[in-house]
Chains A and B, each alone.
Chain A
Amino acid sequence: SLYPSLEDLKVDKVIR
């Protein structure tokens, strides 16, 4: 696809 993937940004990371 032309635009960068946002998939890994949608993974909600827990802030320690």
Chain B
Amino acid sequence: KFTDLFEKMVPMAVQQSMSIYSQRKAETVNRLVGTMRETTNLCNGVLASLNLPAALEDLSGDSIPQSIAEKARSVVQLGGLQSIEQLIKDLPELLTRNREILDESLKMLDNEETTDNELRTKFNQRWNRTPSGDLYKPLRAEGGNFRDILDKAVQADQVVRDRYSAHGDMIALLCRPEDELNAAIPSANPTKTLQGSEVVNVLRSLLSQLDEMKKERETIEGEIKAVTFDMSATFLMALAQDGVLNEEQLSLSQLDQLYGAYNQRVQATVRTQEELLGQVQTSHQEFSSLKQSNTEANQREEVLKKLASAHDSYVEISSNLREGTKFYNDLTEILLKFQNKCSDIVFARKTEREELLKYLQQS
């Protein structure tokens, strides 16, 4: 049952190319998925601002439109306000933990350098080893990069907090029991019977096409994330044949083969949305002109719009918080590796320092 431990060993050039390829792939996936998500957020924003689909369902003028009731249920199911409040409360701890690891690492370098300098002052040119300051430049540069990243993360945390404070009340309202939610929505006398009018049917058809489009995006996202391809064979063959490895060209052509079609489908779904939303805007204008507009109806519509966008913000805030939590946890792992690098080099320098010190004191 012999397993060759060296089976997966590849030349350094191939190993590094695999790393860079996986980074390119991750960036491609993030761009495609990010584009679709942003476009969907835009669509939800436009619909919420037009009070759609609620306006089409809001016949009696005093019961909760079906889409709003569904949105309320989904927020409660996703954990409601408590779940995001808890994640928001955790952010500062995650940030502090990362900062501490980084600060400790850099402090190790500083302390060792201070001692190195003191001994250099004491022994002058007899202290003939490379100054620690020079040796630690790359690590300190890396540390500086981590500091910038943490500063950007702090800004991202603030964006999430601002979004939460802007929509928190309305999200809380969505989480209230149905009767309280209903009581909080101003009622208006029943909408004129617009049911039969053609514009309502056009709007309904457009909205269902938009729903279809959004569902298709979920499928595309799933397919994109399911794509796997082992580049090692390609890299090994290229290295063997030409003796040199053009990672960029090999990776880009492979990534195009794997994701080119998806890129087309993503661009297509963006265009589809633009067309559909254009038609929605036109039909909505006609719909609003038919609908009676009085203060009660307008007040009711304003609250329904806020409730719809509160749901969308809840979904966005939750996604931001998941992303933030993952970011901090991933960064912790990377910072621990950085800390190890710092402690390894400091340990080596200390050992070397003590030997040099012993030697100098003896001679």
Real binding pair: yes
A interface, CB within 8 angstroms of B: 1-12, 14-15
Ordered by A's residue number, 17 sampled pairs between the chains whose C-beta atoms are within 8 Å are: A2-B156, A2-B324, A3-B153, A3-B323, A3-B324, A4-B149, A4-B152, A4-B327, A6-B149, A6-B331, A8-B23, A9-B145, A9-B149, A11-B16, A11-B19, A11-B23, A12-B19
Pair A6/B334 contact, Cβ less than 8 Å: yes
* Main SS class of interface, B: helix
B242 within 8 A of A: no
Give complex CA distance A6, B16 in Å.
Answer: 17
* Main SS class of interface, A: loop
Residues of B within 8 A of A4 (CB): 149, 152-153, 156, 327
Pair B30/A2 contact, Cβ less than 8 Å: no
Pair B323/A1 contact, Cβ less than 8 Å: yes
Residues of A within 8 A of B152 (CB): 3-4
Residues of A within 8 A of B320 (CB): 2
Pair B341/A15 contact, Cβ less than 8 Å: yes
Residues of B within 8 A of A8 (CB): 23
Residues of A within 8 A of B156 (CB): 2-4
Tell me the minimal C-beta distance from A13 to chain B in angstroms: 9
Residues of A within 8 A of B34 (CB): 1
Tell me the minimal C-beta distance from A11 to chain B in angstroms: 4
Select from chain B the residue with minimum beta-carbon distance to A6: B330
B12 within 8 A of A: yes
Q: Interface size of B by Cβ–Cβ distance < 8 Å?
A: 24
B interface, CB within 8 angstroms of A: 12, 16, 19-20, 23, 26-27, 30, 34, 145, 149, 152-153, 156, 159-160, 320, 323-324, 327, 330-331, 334, 341
Give complex CA distance A6, B362 in Å.
Answer: 50
Give complex CA distance A6, B338 in Å.
Answer: 14
Q: Which 6 A-B pairs have the closest CB atoms?
A: A3-B327, A11-B19, A2-B156, A4-B152, A7-B23, A7-B26
Tell me the minimal C-beta distance from A2 to chain B in angstroms: 5
Pair A7/B331 contact, Cβ less than 8 Å: no
Pair A2/B160 contact, Cβ less than 8 Å: yes
Residues of A within 8 A of B23 (CB): 7-8, 10-11
Q: Given that A1-B30, A5-B30 are known contacts, is A11 also in contact with B324, CB under 8 Å in the complex?
A: no
Residues of B within 8 A of A15 (CB): 341
